[in-house]
Chains A and B, each alone.
Chain A
Amino acid sequence: MRALFALAAVTLGLTLQAAVGPEKAIVVIGAHADDLESLAGASVAKYIARGYKGIFAVLTTHRAGAPLTPGKLEGDPLEAIQLHSEAAIAAARRYRATPVFFNLHPTRIRHGRSFAFTGSPWWSRFMPPGTWDISAAPARRPVVNAVAALLVEHNPELVLTHGIGEGDIEHHSGADIVYRAWTEARRRGARLGQLWFRSKDSSGMLSEASFRRFFEPARVTDDFFALADAREPEIEQQDRRFGPQWETALAPPFTYRSSRSQPVVMAVGAHCDDIEVQTGGTLVNLLRQGWKGLYVVTTNNTAGNYLRGGEGSTFPVDGLETIQVRQEEGRRAAAMFGLEPHYLNLHELVFYLGRQQITMEDEEWGLYDPPGNGPVTSSPEGKGLELMTALLEQHEPDLVIAHLLSDKPEHGQSGDLVYRAFKQATARGARLGQLWMPVGRFLPYFQRVRLHPDISIDVTEDNRLNWEALQHHVSQNAAGMIGMKPQPGKKRYEHFIIIVDNTGHR
Chain B
Amino acid sequence: MSISSSLWTTRGIGSISLLLISTAAVTAYEGRDESGAHFNLVAEWGEYGSKAGQFKYPCMLAVDASSSVYVVDQHNHRIQKFDAGGRFLHSWGRFGNGPGQFNYPFGIALDSSGAVYVSDMDNHRVQKFSPGGEFLKAAGGYGSESGRFKHPYGLAIDSRGIVYVIDTLNYRVQKFDRDLNFVGAWGSQEEIGIKTYMPHEIAIARDGSVILSDRQNHRISIFNPVGKLVKRFGQYGEGPDTLGGRFSEPHGVAVGPDGTIYVCDRYNYRVQRFNPAGVFEAAWSIRGPKEDSQQYVLGLAADAKGNIYVTDQYRHRVLKYRYSPSAPAATGFGAPGRVRK
Could you list which residues of chain A lie within 8 angstroms of chain B, going by C-beta atoms? 307-311, 313, 315, 317, 320-321, 324-325, 328, 353-355, 367-369, 371
Contact = CB atoms under 8 A, between A and B. Distances in A.
B235 interface: yes
25 contacts: A307-B197, A307-B198, A308-B197, A308-B216, A309-B217, A309-B236, A309-B249, A310-B217, A310-B218, A310-B235, A310-B236, A311-B236, A315-B267, A317-B198, A320-B122, A324-B121, A324-B122, A324-B168, A325-B198, A328-B151, A354-B266, A354-B267, A354-B314, A368-B57, A371-B122
Binding site secondary structure of chain B: loop
Nearest to A315: B249
Interface in B245-302: 249, 266-267, 296
Contacts of A371: 104, 122
A324 B56 contact: no
B169 to A, nearest CB: 5
A87 B198 CA distance: 55
A412 B52 CA distance: 43
A226 B85 CA distance: 75
Binding site secondary structure of chain A: mixed
Interface footprint category on B: 20 to 34
Contacts of B104: 320, 371
A325 B169 contact: yes
Given A310-B236, A317-B198, A367 B48 contact: yes
B216 A310 contact: yes
A313 B236 contact: yes
B125 interface: no
B75 interface: yes
B151 A324 contact: yes
Contacts of B128: none
Given A325-B169, A355-B267, 4 more contacts: A309-B217, A320-B104, A320-B122, A325-B198
A325 B216 CA distance: 14
Across chains A and B, which 8 residue pairs bring their CB atoms closest together, nearest first? A310-B217, A311-B236, A328-B169, A324-B151, A310-B218, A309-B216, A310-B236, A354-B296
Contacts of A354: 266-267, 296, 314
Contacts of B197: 307-308
B107 to A, nearest CB: 14
Contacts of A317: 198
Contact of A328 (B150, B217, B219): B150
Contacts of A328: 150-151, 169
A367 B169 contact: no
B216 A367 contact: no
Interface string B31-53: 00000000000000000100000
B151 to A, nearest CB: 5
Nearest to B150: A328
Contacts of A368: 57, 75
A317 B150 CA distance: 17
A183 B219 CA distance: 55
Nearest to A310: B217
Nearest to B56: A367
A481 to B, nearest CB: 21
A219 B215 CA distance: 60
A424 B104 CA distance: 35
Contacts of B218: 309-311, 313
B22 to A, nearest CB: 21
B169 A324 contact: yes
A195 B198 CA distance: 54
A394 B150 CA distance: 28
Nearest to A364: B314
Contacts of B151: 324, 328
Contacts of A321: 198
A311 B104 CA distance: 31
Contact of B216 (A307, A324, A355, A369): A307
B242 to A, nearest CB: 13
A353 B313 CA distance: 10
Nearest to B57: A368
Interface string B45-83: 000100000001100000000000000000100000000
Given A317-B198, A321-B198, A324-B122, A310 B314 contact: no
A366 to B, nearest CB: 10
B236 to A, nearest CB: 5
A313 B236 CA distance: 9
A117 B121 CA distance: 32
B75 A369 contact: yes
Contacts of B168: 324
Nearest to A353: B314
A208 to B, nearest CB: 44
Nearest to A305: B198
B293 to A, nearest CB: 14
Nearest to A367: B48
B266 to A, nearest CB: 8
Contacts of B267: 315, 354-355
A354 to B, nearest CB: 6
Contacts of A355: 267
A311 B235 contact: yes
B41 to A, nearest CB: 22
Nearest to A356: B314
B218 to A, nearest CB: 5
Contacts of B57: 368
Contacts of A325: 169, 198
Contacts of A320: 104, 121-122
Contacts of B121: 320, 324
A47 to B, nearest CB: 59
Nearest to B74: A320
A466 B57 CA distance: 39
A101 to B, nearest CB: 42
Q: Which of A317, A324, A353, A355 has the most CB of B within 10 A?
A: A324
Given A315-B249, A324-B169, A328-B150, A310 B219 contact: yes
